[in-house]
Structure 1
Amino acid sequence: MLPDPERKLHRILLNYPSHKQGRMPEFRLLEAKTGRSRKDILLGLKYLEDHFYIEWPDKTTTQGIKVLKDDNDPPPARKSRSNLDYWTY
């Protein structure tokens, strides 16, 4: 689970209308949407990259950011061993 500031930044990147065409929001827009400074946004992007949520090859711009996974990926399915598991989990 991501910390709240990083989760918000990740959701903005994920839901940005044209992220599928390779265009990401600029730093000015991220500052306006998150209410954070550029320094804090850079730290958040670095955190997301370190935890493999995004790929960010060019650190001077946001245009090369690729979202690798969604924060809401479902957990792996568990196989039920008995009827008791149904009632206890």
Structure 2
Amino acid sequence: MPESLNKKIIELESKFSILISKYKKLEAINENLKKEITDREIDLILYKFNNANNSNLEILSSDEKSKLKDDIDSTIEELDTIINNLKE
């Protein structure tokens, strides 16, 4: 194999490796952003729930809010897993 071809292959492998690294960083950033959005959505839901003027609704204690948040997070994780499995 000519030397110039070997250099080109090495150069392309290097660029590909850099692209993979950038993709993994972006994927991690995206995951963090999804979690932030989910947390904000949960906070908004709880805020609206706590500020509803419906006499049938009781204001949740902090333990109940925490439990509700954990349940929602767990459900979201399960859905993400199912979606990822369907993509494969």
User: Structure 2 length as normaliser, TM-score?
Assistant: 0.28
Q: Relative CO higher for 1 or 2, CA cutoff 8 Å, sep ≥ 6? A: 1
Specify which structure has the higher proportion of helix: 2
